[in-house]
Amino acid sequence: METTAIIGYIGALIVGLVLGLIGGGGSILTVPLLVYLLAYNPIIATAYSLFVVGTTSLVGTIQKFQKGLVDVKTGLAFSFPSFIAVYLSRRYLVQNIPETLFTISNFELTKDMGIMVFFAIIMLVASVSMIKNKKKEADITSAKQSYYKTFIQGLVIGAITGLIGAGGGFLYVPALVLWANIPMKKAVGTSLIIVTINSLIGFIGDVQTLDIEWTFLLTFTAISIVGILLGTYFSKFISGKKLKKSFGYFILLMAIYIMYKELK
């Protein structure tokens, strides 16, 4: 086995560990790993990321459900508009983005560059959220909002996660806390249902348009599942807040690196 492939599989283990330890962030590592280390183009990388994150999140959902930390009804209700947007964005939007977005002087912004830059911007948002790391859970006293608002928000978040091949846990957790009045720990578990459904349905959109290397993808995913099992176990002994903040700084640096790499 080539050294690059070995490092890639070690990365898969780390992706799972991160998901198990902090309940999100797997796709933030998966896409750069596939693009910069294993040399996949961003379209393939984001597709593979959806499958990896969706499958590992399914394992996480089962674990959280057994602990009573999943609001199934709310998760499924929020999933409906989201998975519609994810599927449509992967099936039609991503495939029809022009190869050259625009050209200014000698600078050409290509489709692949645009996807990675947009991914980096989302990473910046995620890193700020992790670094803030509020110590107190928000005290929510307002009534739940009308479903049509949740439907629109689900469509927007779904479209974003579909474009970048992310599970979107870092977007869904605050949405569930602020809009659905779900406690933080339960919001993390509930978000995994949405991430699982969105990611796997989004990947179905890709299967219809891309050639999938199933042997590699299933091996990478299996190693990530081992990682999430280990991460969930170790999360009992590690401070989630401190870990999340440290990971936030790491993601911030990675986002800056992607921006530099793509736009230099």
Q: What's the pLDDT tens digit per position in 233-264?
A: 887 777 666 777 777 888 888 889 888 888 87
What's residue 240's pLDDT?
A: 64
Task: Supply the mean pLDDT for the chain.
Answer: 82
Report the residue count for the chain.
264
Single-letter code of the amino acid located at 157: I
Residue 133 confidence class, pLDDT cut points 50, 70, 90: low
Q: Is the whole model's pTM more than 0.85, yes or no?
A: no
- Judge contact between 182 and 74, C-beta under 8 A: yes
Check whether 137 has a pLDDT greater than 60. no
| Residue range 121-138: mean pLDDT, rounded | 71
Query: Per-residue pLDDT tens for 181-238?
Result: 788 778 878 888 888 888 888 898 888 888 999 999 999 999 999 988 888 788 777 7
Q: Is 133 left (phi over 0), alpha (psi -120 to 50) or beta?
A: left
C-alpha distances in Å from residue 255, one per residue of 28, 146, 154, 249, 260: 9, 35, 25, 10, 9
Q: Is 68 left (phi over 0), alpha (psi -120 to 50) or beta?
A: left
Residue 23 confidence class, pLDDT cut points 50, 70, 90: low
C-alpha of 43 from chain center = 15
| d(C-alpha 67, C-alpha 61), whole Å | 10
Residue 88 confidence class, pLDDT cut points 50, 70, 90: confident
What's residue 140's pLDDT?
A: 45
CB-based burial, 63-86: b 16+ in 10 Å, e otherwise = bbbeeebbbeebbebbbbbbbbbb
Residue 1 confidence class, pLDDT cut points 50, 70, 90: low
Please state the three-class secondary structure of the chain as a single string. Answer: CCHHHHHHHHHHHHHHHHHHHHCCCHHHHHHHHHHHHCCCCHHHHHHHHHHHHHHHHHHHHHHHHHCCCCCHHHHHHHHHHHHHHHHHHHHHHHHHCCCEEEEECCEEEEHHHHHHHHHHHHHHHHHHHHHHCCCCCCCCCCCCCCHHHHHHHHHHHHHHHHHHCCCCHHHHHHHHHHHHCCCHHHHHHHHHHHHHHHHHHHHHHHHCCCCCCHHHHHHHHHHHHHHHHHHHHHCCCCCHHHHHHHHHHHHHHHHHHHHHHHHC
| Residue range 109-125: mean pLDDT, rounded | 86
